[in-house]
Every structure is written in structure tokens, then in C-alpha cells.
Amino acid sequence: MPSMIEPKLIAGNSNRPLANAIARRMSMHRGMNVGLVEARVERFNDQEIFVEVFENVRGEDMYIIQSTSNPANDNLMELLIMTDALRRSSASRITAVIPYFGYARQDRRAKARTPISAKLVANLITEAGVDRVLTLDLHAAQIQGFFDIPVDNLYAAPVFALDVEHHFKGKLDQVTVVSPDVGGVARARELAQRIGCGLAIVDKRRVNPGEVAEMTVIGDVAGQICIIVDDICDTAGTLCKAAEVLMEGGAKEVHSYISHGVLSGPAVERITNSVMKSLVITDSIEPSETVKKAKNIRIVPTAPMFAQAIMNIWSGTSVSSLFDADTLGPIYEGMYSRG
């Protein structure tokens, strides 16, 4: 190991349950209590954010756990201000652990006079003093290149593969993985290869932004258990429509695996009333009580994967090893049996 400095975790307000779960998981790894550094992250009456760290962090290897989910601007500012507080307190290295990277959908100029907000956010994070970023399933892989610091992008696909193999044991020959659009084919293909099943695509055509005019299934889904795979589910309109189209195409069942459950507006109601038998999301965004109570929404924990990734970064070992299901299997032992 390059240093005997222990890793230290600190968290903002975006997803405290996940931060606590990562700390508990690291405690199991270390054989010693790994808690969150005591700090206060609060707001003045005019909603200015104030951060005060109550522990000495001089020379420490710090990991800030903070998703930039709704409210995206507040959570992003918390991350930047916490980084500044740690940098001015002489932390030796600051790693931003961002389970959900907001603004990632604005990764290119789709039309004239529009911003590339993902690049702007990358600049803000870098200039604030972050030395490394650890995140999960970036909406677009090229966002890693927007940073001038190392970025470790974890993938939910290996965990989803374990979940599919566990819940559809004995029926994998009936499973077809479906991409909800042409742009997500690579993500769907990866999961299909991991579990050894077929691939289909839902081709959607839009007349106006946010308005789908027509959907066509490319591939044979008749009699199949269809699993839709995507990185973000926001209002769930397109997802629920894709599920309907698949059922009309003869699918036996439709399930969905989504990395980041944004689930804004009418999303939960749409999913509850949809033809989908289940929607599986990760806890990269803290689920609301409505999401937790939804009968057909299930949450897969990411704390085991993030805890191991943090330990690997701290010890200078491979993070990409976590892309292998054989590596993640023991980490998720107790949840999934592959026997």
C-alpha cells in the first residue's frame, strides 16, 4: 500500500443512507469502525450553503459521498463547498464519490446556442479541488474525457447480471435483453453477453422533443421474458410505452433494470399502473417513500461495490476488476447465489 493513512468518508445531504451503508461495508473490510467524518452541512436563511468539518483532516485521504440528484443545483453546490472546506483544511487527496452524476444528459450540443453543461460541471468539480472522481454508469462515456483528473466509472451491469441470474434462474433461455432506443444498444448488449441471452431494440421516432410518435421492435420477442436496460428513468413515459409495445409484440413478461431511478413527476404512478412486472433500480439516488412502497419497484444496493472501489483506490489496486461478475459475486454473497 502506498500509505498507511486510513481512508476517511464524509457525506453531504443527497443520499445519507447510501453513505452510511458504504461506511458499514468498509467497516467489514477493515475490521474496524469506519464512520462518516463529523460535519455539518446546512443552509442560512437565504439558502446559502455552509459547511463545517469537526474533525482534523490534515493529510487525510478523503472521500466525499454526494450524488448530484434532485435538487441537483443544491447538491452540486454542497459537493463544491465541501471540497473547498477539505482543501483549505489540508486534506492530502480528495475523491468525489458521485453515485449519480447530474447534468450528464447535457453532454453535447444537439442544436445551436445550447450549452454542454456536463463539461461545465466537470470544470467546476475539478477547479474546486477534487483530485479524482468515482461514479456509476455515466450517461455518456465521453464525459470521462471532460475531466482533467482521473475518473473511475463503475457499471451496474455486473450487479444486474447477478440479479437476473438469481431471479430468473432456470429461465435464462427465455430471456431477451431490450434496449429502449438505438443509443443504448451497447449497454443492453453488455448485459445480454453477461447472461448469455438474445438482444432486441425498441426503435422510437420523435416528432417533437419529449413526444414519441412511433415505436417499433427490432428483433423477435414473442414468448420471451423481456428485460429493458437503461441508465436513467426520469418520468417513465417512454419506458412504460416501450413495455406496452413489447407486450403487443408477444412478450410473455416485461421487466426493467435501470441504473439511476430519477423517477420524477408521475413516474411512480405510471410504473405502478404499467404492464411491467418489475422495475429494478439502484440506490444511487435516495429513493422516496413513494418509490419504496411501490409494489413493482425493487432496489439493488450499490454500497458493496462502492465500498470495494474506495478500498481499491485507497490501496492502489485495480478498480476495473469490479467489472467482472466473478469479482462482484463474493462481494454480493448473501444476496445472490449463482450455484
Local confidence band at 212 (pLDDT 50, 70, 90 cut-offs): low
**Could you tell me which residue, 19 or 324, shows the higher pLDDT?**
19
- Pick from 210-214, 256-260, 324-328: least confident: 210-214
- For the segment 109-113, the average pLDDT, to the nearest whole number, is 90
pLDDT, mean of residues 28-57: 91
Secondary structure string (H, E, C) spanning the chain:
CCCCCCEEEEECCCCHHHHHHHHHHHHHHHCCCCCECCEEEEECCCCCEEEEECCCCCCCEEEEECCCCCCHHHHHHHHHHHHHHHHHCCCCEEEEEECCCCCCCCCCCCCCCCCCHHHHHHHHHHHHCCCEEEEECCCCHHHHHHCCCCEEEECCHHHHHHHHHHHCCCCHHHEEEEECCHHHHHHHHHHHHHHCCEEEEEEEEEEECCEEEEEEEECCCCCCEEEEEEEEECCCHHHHHHHHHHHHCCCCEEEEEEEEECCCCCHHHHHHCCCCCEEEEECCCCCCHHHHHCCCEEEECCHHHHHHHHHHHHHCCCCHHHHCHHHHHHHCECCECCC
Which of 169, 204, 241, 252 is catalytic? The answer is 204
Q: How confident is the model at residue 25 (pLDDT cuts 50, 70, 90)?
A: very high
Using the predicted structure, report yes or no on whether residue 199 has a pLDDT greater than 90.
Answer: yes
pTM of the shown model:
0.93
pLDDT, residue 1, reads 42
Judged against a pLDDT cut of 70, whether residue 2 lies above it is answered with: no
**pLDDT by residue (tens digit) across 133-189?**
999 999 998 999 999 999 999 999 999 999 999 999 999 999 999 999 888 999 999
Look at residue 41 in the predicted model and tell me its pLDDT: 94
For 273, other C-beta atoms within 10 Å of its C-beta total 11
Q: Is 8 a catalytic residue?
A: no
Instruction: Please give the single-letter amino acid code of residue 277.
Output: K
Would the pLDDT of 34 be above 60? yes
| Mean local confidence (pLDDT), 16-22 | 97
Q: Answer yes or no: is pLDDT of 213 > 70.
A: no
Residues 256-301 have pLDDT tens digits of 999 999 999 999 999 999 999 999 999 999 999 999 999 999 999 9
At residue 214 the predicted structure's pLDDT band, cuts being 50, 70 and 90, is confident
Whether 208 has a pLDDT exceeding 70, the answer reads: no
Whether residue 142 contacts residue 124, with contact meaning beta carbons closer than 8 Å, is answered with: no
Q: pLDDT category, 209, cuts 50, 70, 90? A: low
pLDDT at 339: 53
Q: Compute the average pLDDT of residues 101-128.
A: 95
